[in-house]
């Protein structure tokens, strides 16, 4: 046991956080009552029955002290047994205190102690030991009697025994199974220790204005300066917090005078202590205090609870005031907390009516009426009615519906499924793989695992941060992109040593990327552009064209559309690099699969239905993700890439005429052989030369390869000889390295992870030891082929901590992730560099 003095040796890992903090308050000359700390080891001994000598323990507290014992775990979040106050109360002390402070106050103290001792130390039935309405001699007699009846012995009168029994019961409570599970859930190690602090009581009860309370100096919600807290006359411990009806506020209170008016000097002191805590403890603290005949006592101080938004505001303002260095502010914020600020969230206080749980695929929460098709979502948006698009899984045809919906829910798919990728890209909350939910299309209902039915038009909420689907619409918290947030990220950028770009397909995505200070676009998936507006129809005509000439004619109609898309994108991203990926998906994705769709298509093409059906069948593949897609399509039907290259270069020339400079990069998807690159490069170069000749302009561009097949990684050396950059597409690379379909893995992934087959879902967390090895090897071979080759990662993993750490280690130039992950990636990269 150690008396806490300014010079005592006190460590959070030996005596716990509370003991350490109390010592710091003592060092700051705050009026902290005499306190003795018991170390983790001492408490372990007590739990085994090896009790401390109570004479020595009580010596620092003088004659006839009243004491409190409080837990002091290493991290305050790990909890601990309830504090016990007023140890030392007995019949004699009670009689003496009646004379000093009056019967009521003395009796309240004794009653409280007997009650706490009975429930927490003697472990008697709490129902038998309520605090009585009246604190009088009769109630006290009744409670002492109840204790005797339950234990067959009178209430212990020896303060030493009271103290030792209290210590023993608290030490044992720490070893209980529930307490252990609770703290382990909060990250405590199995062998986490408990310290205890024994402190002289500041009574808070007695003659004159006595009481206790808590105060904090900034808002836990916003982090803005704001004095809040509660104070309650004639109270102890945290009563002012639990008994809201009797508590008064510190500054404004419509139920009576506030502490600021009641005891202005004390209030001023509390404000001054807050300032000292902030400057010297370098934190925003909540201070627990008591007031008695002897004035103000500071009993404890803990870091204030805070929302993510408040955490950012607090860290930035501490750094701006020179209290902590900027680097520390950057390190103090959990990057994942930022995504809470970028999206609306379900209010953490709101009650949740859970329908089903799925995979959290795109963060944020939104509510809306259930719709079951993309067309219904668009109709709903046209009526200004928020809706949630519920699909078994989404396909490119659903994109317009996804844009129109407030949120998306699918029954199938994992974190790299179509719905998840698009949801994240456009910032729409999305939950995928909610496989316990069923859709009854006939009755137009969804059926929850508990049998509850929700019809089209009923309101549900998608919480893409937690993966929960909720009935109705709980209270929400708005996104908060305030100046503190921007400042923190600027500081992060000052220390970061790897680039962060965004995956952006549309002008809206690009604007989001720009708002979040992405350093360019690292992946623009052009095929998404073909689903916009009336382009799908033209695209289908192109697919149905029999002859090269017919196809070229249709592509000529697509050209101005694509050119306009690129122009809009380039104008937003001016001064930066934009990496455009040439067409990637298999053509059948643009064709309908159901009867009605086929009939509509036949009508549109003015062709007989059987012929249309036959053409669609001919295009279908057994394994379309490994079939005619990406560069294979680009080589088999080169007119498509020709059109895209022309659109890109003409857009470059058009924006250049407006004085906008842009670095254009063209990326070839799904490459597996060097010759593919040679063939595409020859045609792209030819188109570039033609456009330069027509426009009488010269512009530079880079051509590179998306490394997403294992063979491309293995052959990176000769591929890099023809490529200025290599961008690793970790979605397909993971799929192909594992031989695991990214669209179907969701079905069994949780069982695989539970059984430890994979440590995590490899589509979610980059598999460093397998896929990572292939990337490292590809990067090294790429550099061997071209020493200045630009290296990047652009799959869904790219914004994660593991992937950024990996990319830094292998000296990659940048990562490219969905626009809403850009701030998270900027902060993560900075923290890794510090």
Binding partner at 499 among Mg ion, ligand PEP, none, C-beta below 5 to 8 Å by kind: none
Helix (H, G, I), strand (E, B) or coil at 218: strand
Closest separation between CB of residue 525 and ligand PEP, Å? 5
Cα 767 off chain centre by: 21
What's the Cα-to-Cα distance from 259 to each of 140, 212, 255, 262, 270, rounded to whole Å?
31, 11, 12, 5, 11
Residue 794 in the binding site for ligand PEP (CB under 6 A): yes
Instruction: Give the nearest distance from C-beta 732 to Mg ion in angstroms.
Output: 4
Work out how close the CB of 503 gets to Mg ion at its nearest, in angstroms, rounded to a whole number.
11
Give min distance, CB of 676 to ligand PEP, in A: 16
What six digits make up the tokens of 640?
Answer: 């498509």
Binding string to ligand PEP for residues 554 to 593, with x set by CB under 6 A, is what?
A: ------------------------------x---------
Residue 703 CB, nearest distance to Mg ion (Å)?
18
Candidates 425, 433, 592, 795; binder of ligand PEP (CB under 6 A) is 795
601 versus 670: smaller Cβ distance to ligand PEP: 670
C-alpha–C-alpha distance, residues 706 and 790, integer Å: 12
Number of helical H runs and strand E runs in the chain: 34, 31
Q: Which is nearer to ligand PEP, 316 or 804 (CB)?
A: 804
User: Helix or strand or coil: residue 642?
Assistant: helix
Residue nearest to Mg ion (CB): 732
- Report the residue count for the chain: 834
Nearest to 282 by CA among 250, 257, 317: 317
**526 marked ligand binding residue:** no
The residue number whose beta carbon is nearest to ligand PEP equals 729
* CA dist list (Å): 338 to 187, 342, 480: 21, 7, 10
**x/- contact string, 728-757, with ligand PEP (CB under 6 A)?**
-xxxx-------------------------
Q: State the catalytic residue, choosing from 21, 210, 524, 794.
A: 794
Q: Find the shortest distance in angstroms from Cβ 625 to ligand PEP.
A: 9
Binding mask 6-35 for Mg ion (x = CB under 5 A): ------------------------------
Q: Which stretch binds Mg ion (CB under 5 A): 62-70, 701-709, 806-814, 819-827?
A: 701-709
Q: Which partner, Mg ion, ligand PEP, none, binds residue 525 by CB below 5 to 8 Å per kind?
A: ligand PEP
- Considering beta carbons, is residue 165 or 732 the nearer one to ligand PEP? 732
Give the CA distances from residue 64 to residues 2, 97, 295, 308, 542, in Å, rounded to whole numbers and listed in that order.
20, 11, 20, 47, 95
| Axis-axis angle for helices 638-657, 674-695 (nearest 10) | 40
- Give yes or no for residue 403 binding ligand PEP (CB under 6 A): no
What's the token pair of residue 471? 């009935």
- Going by their DSSP bridges, the two strands 295-303 and 285-292 should be labelled as antiparallel
* Residue 795 near which of ligand PEP, Mg ion, none (CB within 5-8 Å, type-dependent): ligand PEP
Does 239 participate in binding Mg ion (rule CB under 5 A)? no
Identify residues 236-295 at the interface with ligand PEP (CB under 6 A): none
Considering the complex, what minimum distance in angstroms separates the CB of residue 624 from ligand PEP?
Answer: 12
Residue with tokens 């009975």, as numbered in its chain: 118
| 597 among annotated binding-site residues | no
Q: What number of chain residues touch ligand PEP (CB under 6 A)?
A: 11
CB 211 within 8 A of CB 233: yes
Known catalytic residue at 297? no
User: For residue 601, how many other CB atoms are within 10 A of its CB?
Assistant: 20
Q: Which two tokens stand for residue 16?
A: 């716990």
Q: 611: helix, coil or strand?
A: helix
Nearer to ligand PEP, 650 or 708 (CB): 708
b/e code 229-243 from CB counts within 10 Å (16+ = b)? bbbbbbbbbbbbbee
Query: What span, in angstroms and rounded, lies between the C-alpha atoms of 341 and 478?
Result: 8
Left, alpha or beta for 56 (phi > 0: left; psi -120 to 50: alpha)?
Answer: alpha
* Of residues 479, 476, 467, the one with CA closest to residue 346: 476
Shortest separation between residue 742's beta carbon and ligand PEP, angstroms: 8
Euclidean distance between CA atoms 52 and 69, whole angstroms:
14
Beta-strand ranges (E) seen in 234-292 are 248-249, 285-292
Query: Within its chain, how far is the Cα of 735 from the centroid?
Result: 26
What track of x and - describes contact with Mg ion for positions 172 through 191 (by CB under 5 A)? Answer: --------------------
The option from ligand PEP, Mg ion, none interacting with 496 (CB < 5 to 8 A, set by class) reads none
Is residue 402 within 8 Å of residue 408, measured between CB atoms? yes
Binding mask 672-711 for ligand PEP (x = CB under 6 A): ------------------------------------x---
Cross-strand pairs, 533: none
Task: Extract the runs of DSSP E, i.e. beta strands, from 527-598.
Answer: 577-581
Q: Is 418 a catalytic residue?
A: yes
Token pair of 792, please?
């990047």
* Under rule CB under 6 A, residue 423 binds ligand PEP: no
Residues in 478-537 at the binding interface with ligand PEP, rule: CB under 6 A: 523, 525
Annotated ligand binding at 731? The verdict is yes
- Count CA atoms within 13 Å of residue 825 on its CB side: 32
Q: Is 464 in the site for ligand PEP (CB under 6 A)?
A: no
Closer Cβ to Mg ion, 288 or 732, answer by number: 732
Q: Which residue(s) pair with 802 in the sheet?
A: none
Give the range of 93-101, 344-352, 703-711, 715-723 binding Mg ion by CB under 5 A. Answer: 703-711
Instruction: In angstroms, give the least distance from the CB of 407 to ligand PEP.
Output: 21
CA angle 351, 357, 360 (to 5 degrees): 100
Position among 414, 729, 762, 823 found at the interface with Mg ion (CB under 5 A): 729
The answer to the question of whether 472 is labelled as a binding residue is no
732 binds Mg ion (CB under 5 A): yes
Question: Is 708 among the residues that bind Mg ion (CB under 5 A)?
Answer: yes
Inter-residue long-range contacts of 332-337, CB under 8 Å, 24+ positions, other chains counted? 333/308, 333/488, 333/827, 334/308, 335/801, 335/824, 335/825, 335/827, 335/828, 335/831, 336/824, 337/308, 337/311, 337/312
CB of 499 to ligand PEP, least distance (A): 17
Task: Report what 730 binds from Mg ion, ligand PEP, none; CB cut-off 5-8 Å by kind.
Answer: ligand PEP
Per CB under 6 A, which region of 143-151, 154-162, 189-197, 724-732 contacts ligand PEP? Answer: 724-732
Q: Residue 523 or 598: which CB sits closer to ligand PEP?
A: 523
Q: Is residue 90 a known part of a binding site?
A: no
| 89, two tokens | 């109360």
- What is the closest distance, in whole angstroms, from the C-beta atom of residue 474 to ligand PEP in the complex? 33
Considering the rule CB under 6 A, would residue 17 count as an interface residue with ligand PEP? no
Q: Exposed (0-12), middle (13-18) or buried (19+): which is 26, by Cβ within 10 Å?
A: buried
Judged by CB under 6 A, does residue 418 bind ligand PEP?
no
Q: Which of 94, 343, 418, 797 is catalytic?
A: 418
What distance in Å separates the CA atoms of residue 659 and residue 15, rounded to the nearest whole number?
Answer: 66
List residues forming the annotated binding site for substrate. 525, 581, 708, 729-732
Catalog residues that contact Mg ion under the rule CB under 5 A: 708, 729, 732
**Residues near ligand PEP, by CB under 6 A:** 421, 523, 525, 584, 708, 729-732, 794-795
Residues that are catalytic: 418, 794
For the annotated binding site, the residues are: 525, 581, 708, 729-732
């Amino acid at each position: 046991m150690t008396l806490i003095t300014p010079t005592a040796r006190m460590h959070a890992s030996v005596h716990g956080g509370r003991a350490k903090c109390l010592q710091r308050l003592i060092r700051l000359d705050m009026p902290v009552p005499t306190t003795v700390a018991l170390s983790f080891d001492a408490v372990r001994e007590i739990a085994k029955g090896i009790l401390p000598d109570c004479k020595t323990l009580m010596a620092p507290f003088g004659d006839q002290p009243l004491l409190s014992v409080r837990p002091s775990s290493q991290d305050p979040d790990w909890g601990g047994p309830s504090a016990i106050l007023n140890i030392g109360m007995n019949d004699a002390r009670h009689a003496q205190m009646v004379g000093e402070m009056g019967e009521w106050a003395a009796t309240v103290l004794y009653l409280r102690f007997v009650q706490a001792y009975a429930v927490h130390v003697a472990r008697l039935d709490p129902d038998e030991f309520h605090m009585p309405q009246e604190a009088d001699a009769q109630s006290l007699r009744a409670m002492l009697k109840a204790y005797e009846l339950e234990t067959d012995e009178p209430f212990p009168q020896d303060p030493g025994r009271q103290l030792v029994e209290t210590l023993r019961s608290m030490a044992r409570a720490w070893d209980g199974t529930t307490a252990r599970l609770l703290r382990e859930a909060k990250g405590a190690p199995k062998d986490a220790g408990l310290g205890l602090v024994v402190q002289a009581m500041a009574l808070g009860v007695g003659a004159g204005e006595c009481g206790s309370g808590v105060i904090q100096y900034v808002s836990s919600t916003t982090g803005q300066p704001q004095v809040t807290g509660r104070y309650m006359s004639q109270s102890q411990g945290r009563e002012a917090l639990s008994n809201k009806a009797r508590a008064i506020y510190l500054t404004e209170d419509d139920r009576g005078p506030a502490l600021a008016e009641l005891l202005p000097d004390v209030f001023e002191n509390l404000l001054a202590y807050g300032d000292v805590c902030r400057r010297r403890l370098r934190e925003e603290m909540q201070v627990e205090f008591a007031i008695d005949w002897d004035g103000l006592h500071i009993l404890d101080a803990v870091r204030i609870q805070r929302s993510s938004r408040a955490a950012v505001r607090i860290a930035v303002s501490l750094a701006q005031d020179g209290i902590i260095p900027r680097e520390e502010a950057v390190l103090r914020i959990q990057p994942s907390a930022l995504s809470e600020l970028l999206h609306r969230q379900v209010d953490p206080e709101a009650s949740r009516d859970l329908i089903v749980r799925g995979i959290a695929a795109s963060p944020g929460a939104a509510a809306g009426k259930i719709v079951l098709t993309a067309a219904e979502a668009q109709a709903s948006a046209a009526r200004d009615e928020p809706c949630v698009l519920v699909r078994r899984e989404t396909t490119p045809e659903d994109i317009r519906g996804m844009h129109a919906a407030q949120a998306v829910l699918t029954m199938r798919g994992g974190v790299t499924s179509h719905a998840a990728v698009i949801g994240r890209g456009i910032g729409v909350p999305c939950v995928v793989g909610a496989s316990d939910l069923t859709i009854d299309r006939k009755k137009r209902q969804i059926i929850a695992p508990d049998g509850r039915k929700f019809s089209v038009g009923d309101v549900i909420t998608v919480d893409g941060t937690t993966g929960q689907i909720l009935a109705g619409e709980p209270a929400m918290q708005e996104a908060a992109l305030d100046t503190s947030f921007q400042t923190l990220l600027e500081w992060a950028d000052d220390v970061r040593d790897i680039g962060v770009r965004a995956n952006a397909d549309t002008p809206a995505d690009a604007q989001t990327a720009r708002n979040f200070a992405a350093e360019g676009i690292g992946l623009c998936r052009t095929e998404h552009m073909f689903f916009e507006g009336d382009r799908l129809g033209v695209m289908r005509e192109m697919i149905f064209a029999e002859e090269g000439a017919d196809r070229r004619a249709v592509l000529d109609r697509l050209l101005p559309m694509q050119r306009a898309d690129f122009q809009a994108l380039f104008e937003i991203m001016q001064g930066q690099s934009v990496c455009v990926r040439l067409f990637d998906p298999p053509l059948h994705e643009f064709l309908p699969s159901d009867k009605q769709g086929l009939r509509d298509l036949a009508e549109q093409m003015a062709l007989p239905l059987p012929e249309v059906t036959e053409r669609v069948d001919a295009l279908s593949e057994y394994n379309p993700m490994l079939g005619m897609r990406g560069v294979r399509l680009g080589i088999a039907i080169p007119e498509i890439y020709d059109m895209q290259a022309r659109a890109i270069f003409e857009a470059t020339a058009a924006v250049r005429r407006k004085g906008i400079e842009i670095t254009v990069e063209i990326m070839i998807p799904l490459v597996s052989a060097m010759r593919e690159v040679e063939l595409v490069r020859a045609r792209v170069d030819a188109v570039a030369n033609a456009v330069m000749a027509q426009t009488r302009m010269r512009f530079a561009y880079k051509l590179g390869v998306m490394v997403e097949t294992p063979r491309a990684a293995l052959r990176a050396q000769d591929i890099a000889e023809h490529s200025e950059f290599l961008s690793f597409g970790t979605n397909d690379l993971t799929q192909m390295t594992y031989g695991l379909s990214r669209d179907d893995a969701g079905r069994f992934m949780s069982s695989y992870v539970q059984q430890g087959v994979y440590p995590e879902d490899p589509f979610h967390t980059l598999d460093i030891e397998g896929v990572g090895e292939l990337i490292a090897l590809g990067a090294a071979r790429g550099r061997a082929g071209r020493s200045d080759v630009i290296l990047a990662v652009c799959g869904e993993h790219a914004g994660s901590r593991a992937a950024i750490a990996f990319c830094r280690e292998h000296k990659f130039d940048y990562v490219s992730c969905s626009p809403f992950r850009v701030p998270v990636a900027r902060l993560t990269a900075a923290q890794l560099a510090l």
